[in-house]
């Protein structure tokens, strides 16, 4: 099961965070939240088993 670990305000922010998490070996999925693609916020999701590690990475960014 996938869990939301962060909500990014822009697509570019979401993609940068996705890259950081993937560089640490985590599986990452982005999911837009409403609005058009340019104006959407994005949920950053990881598998439930990787939530703690993802939160550590996001805290250090």
pLDDT per residue as tens digits for the range 1-58: 999 999 999 999 999 999 999 999 999 999 999 766 666 899 999 999 999 999 999 9
- pTM to 2 decimals? 0.88
Identify the CA nearest to 58 among candidates 16, 30, 10: 16
What pLDDT score does 23 carry? 97
Identify the CA nearest to 53 among candidates 25, 17, 18: 25
What pLDDT score does 47 carry? 98
Collapse the DSSP code of 23 into the 3-class scheme (helix H, G, I; strand E, B; otherwise coil) and give the result: helix
Q: Structure tokens of 46?
A: 């990881």
Q: 22 to each of 4, 29, 51, 54, how far by Cα in Å?
A: 15, 10, 13, 10
Q: In terms of residues, how long is the chain?
A: 61
**DSSP symbol at 21:** H
2-60 CATH: 3.30.70
């Amino acid at each position: 099961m996938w869990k939301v670990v962060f909500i990014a305000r822009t697509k570019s922010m979401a993609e940068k965070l996705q890259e950081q998490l993937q560089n640490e070996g985590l599986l990452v999925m982005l999911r837009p939240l409403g609005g058009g693609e340019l104006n959407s916020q994005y949920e950053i999701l990881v598998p439930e088993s990787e939530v703690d590690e993802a939160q550590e990475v996001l805290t250090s960014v």
